Chains A and B, each alone.
Chain A
Amino acid sequence: MAVLARSPIAVRRRPRLRRRAYLNLLALPGLLIVSTVWAYPFLWTISTAFKTQLGAFTAGAGLVPQPLDLDNFKRAWVTAGISSYFINTVVYATGSTMIELTKSALCGYVLARYRFPGRNLLYKVIVLTLFVPVISILIPQFVLIQHLGLLNTRLGVILAQSGGAGALYVLLFAGFFENLPQDLFDAARVDGAGFLQTFWLMLPLARPIIAVVVIFQFVYNWNDFTVPLVFTLGQPDLQNLAVGMLHFQGTHSFDLTGFAAGMLISFVPVLIVFLIFQSYFVRGLAGAVKE
């Protein structure tokens, strides 16, 4: 590894600070403009939660609710059944995220670094199955859960939610592990690490991918209404928030302001998960070998 020539710290700091300020001055204004435009539809949705339906319509571009209507929140709380469904939603999202994470990390690791019979076939099958639209596979999944006797159970819902999209996370993990420098593995072997220990050592390096899987599986699950609805037909109190949100869709009209209010109440946990895990995207592999 190249030994970096280090100049005295004090002399180095001033130009670096100036460079930082200069780059920020360059980038921030552009980013601010883009962010405003980007966030606008979301802000519009949030402001809709405070408007009356007709008020939302006539306001057009305006973000200020006129008249202000807080009734939407009361209605949303009851219609979407937020108090009853919140716990379920958290359980499903957390449970399926952990299962997803475990199975994709394990499989991706093995797929990336070890040759075994059927490896290429597995890779090909995974890629191939990515191409099939998901619409048509609900009935067979239902039949499977029915035969497992897991209808109307939380476990059944979690399993069905973890079974679907795993393929792409496996590919991400595999790609990432494949990219790790061989030196790391050699160093571990020299230190006498076995299979499991090597894996335990390598896993933290995959923190970015872990963050990706957690964020997206959580978001996807949080908003998924099909699986929690279909697999809890006999026990509706096992449904989640996204199913509750379906109740805004009446026979003749769609309760947009109620929906917006419901979404506003319920999206905070997803935001928290994102805020926590996005911090994983600053640390790199700096000095990993030296450790």
Chain B
Amino acid sequence: MRSWNRPLGAAVLMILTAACSGGGQPSASSSAAPVTLTIQDFSVEQTDFHKQVVAEYQRVYPNVTIQWQSTAQAQYEQTLPLAFQSKQAPDLFYWQKQGSNTMNWLLSNSWISTVSPDGKVPSDWTKRWPAGSFQNGINMKDGNVYGFPWQDTHYWGPGYMYMNKGVFAQAGLDPSNPPTTWSQLADTCANIKSKTKAYCLAVPLKGTDWQRIWYAMAAGNMTDLFFDYKNGKFSLDNPAMLQTFNYLQGLYNKGYFAPGVQDKSFSRQQFAAGQAAIYMDGPWMISVWDQLGFHSDSYGVAAHPNPDGGAKGALSSLNSQNAYWVSSQTQHAAEAWKFIQWMTNPTGFFAQNFLSHQFATLAFADDKKLLTDPAWQQIFKIADKAGFRVQYPDPLLKCPALAQSKAYTDASALHPNWEHQVMVDAITSNKDLKPAAQLVVSTRQQTLEAELQKESAAGLKVSASCYEFGTNGWDYTQNFNIANYSKP
């Protein structure tokens, strides 16, 4: 017993010393030459690119060292609030969770400061973006600029249909002549099922991955959102939405879906491995499939099929692209602003290399010139057609007081992902969606209206009409421009 006491004690001592030595000073923030900027996000797949950016920036500005830290999204969203709480926030961070209301939420938590130290920006900086990119309530407040659009929202979004050339060829079909209506899609699937061993549609059904096909198909019939901005109601029980669901359920019952409840990774690999003919998702697939060794010469891209009578709706483009923010706890506001300007240079190192990796589209760069993959060119052609994706109205711009309102977030945060759950449940057990959809909609709608009433009774200038744009003359297939907003 006693013989191993001593080495044990030594080991304990060693470990405790190692343990106590771990606490170092966080990077010094002297106002003299060397500066360290910390940037945090969850773009883990861009880590190698970040290293290149850091090296290049240090070459240009030798006194600045950038620490670009990325971690998995779930953990990122959990730890960033803790970092702010313990005064360890980074200098720049990525946050988009509240959609177009992100800036207001970040301000209410005192997480951000203006992009430039004084809040004003030169016009040749804002000129990098299309007109109307900077709006009060979205990324500006009281004339000060807090955010800047990161990726564009016209090309970047769901709604594209990818077709595996190999499988199509086996069925005697041509991807350059894709199905454009619902019945044509059903026919294509019948063809593929009878003539090939592959499945027609690779549809992920796990969790919220069902949205990949849902957004694409529902958009053509009314809207891809779970909220109907024309009538100001939650949308799942609307006859048009139910019609879309019934159509998809029909395809499922005919055996056109690849079997199983898979996640999106699985379905994507199924498509790439030639086990499925069609997969619907957004343009990020181009780089995802590239990493799998599956390149754009093996697949074609087309717009999602529309209902037989023509498109009655369009995909939504929202004001949600402001992503990187300067934190309120930064000690290097001027350096952060300098980096932002360097980063958003349309012809600079960042934009060119970011786009050459095809990670995403950038709102401030010439995507069409720099995203050279043929699949991207097809994406641009598809999205440029009128009526594919339209700018949706934003209640925040109609009633700015909504920045303080919690009604909508409470209504939609009740049972998160409820819509997806009831739809997947209905499709896998071959049930009618209507009763469950009505329950979801009525529960959410009641919460929304009750809280709006409470808030307006307390003096906030909000009402249910803030969410209703039919009266402003909007229909699902139109672009809603800034000029259309009127004061309540």
Contact = CB atoms under 8 A, between A and B. Distances in A.
Is there a contact between chains A and B in the complex with CB atoms less than 8 Å apart?
yes
Contact of B15 (A94, A138, A157, A252): A94
B18 interface: yes
Given A153-B20, A234-B26, A57 B75 contact: no
Nearest to B20: A155
Interface in A133-150: 138-139, 142, 146, 150
Contact of A233 (B21, B72, B83): B83
Interface stretch (B135-143, B288-296, B436-444): B288-296
Contacts, number: 120
Contacts of B24: 152, 235
Contacts of B270: 57
A207 interface: no
B273 A247 contact: no
Contacts of B74: 249
A83 interface: no
B416 to A, nearest CB: 15
B269 A53 contact: yes
A54 B269 CA distance: 7
A53 B22 CA distance: 38
A120 to B, nearest CB: 33
From B15, B73, B74, name the one whose CB has the most chain A CB atoms within 10 angstroms: B15
Interface in B226-281: 265-266, 268-270, 272-273
A229 interface: yes
B42 interface: yes
A41 interface: no
Contacts of B268: 253
Contacts of A54: 269, 272-273, 292-294
Contacts of B42: 251
What secondary structure prevails in chain B residues at the interface with A? helix
Given A154-B20, A155-B22, A247 B88 contact: no
A152 B21 CA distance: 11
A204 B69 CA distance: 47
B71 A247 contact: yes
A95 B23 contact: no
A243 B71 contact: yes
* Interface band, chain A: 35 or more
A233 B27 CA distance: 12
Contacts of B265: 253-254, 256
B284 interface: yes
Given A153-B23, A253-B45, A95 B16 contact: yes
Interface string B9-39: 0001001101111111010000000000000
A58 to B, nearest CB: 5
A98 B22 CA distance: 18
The interface centre, meaning the residue of B72, B85, B284 with most chain A CB atoms within 10 A of its CB, is B72
A112 interface: no
B176 interface: no
B458 interface: no
B269 A235 contact: no
Given A98-B12, A154-B21, A154-B22, A249 B72 contact: yes
A158 interface: yes
Contacts of A138: 78
* Complex A-B, nearest 5 residue pairs according to Cβ-Cβ distance, in ascending order: A154-B22, A153-B23, A250-B45, A249-B72, A57-B269
12 contacts: A52-B293, A54-B292, A58-B273, A91-B19, A152-B23, A153-B19, A153-B23, A225-B75, A229-B79, A235-B24, A250-B44, A253-B45
Interface of B: 1, 12, 15-16, 18-24, 26, 42-45, 47, 67, 69-75, 78-79, 82-83, 85-86, 88, 265-266, 268-270, 272-273, 284, 287-288, 291-294
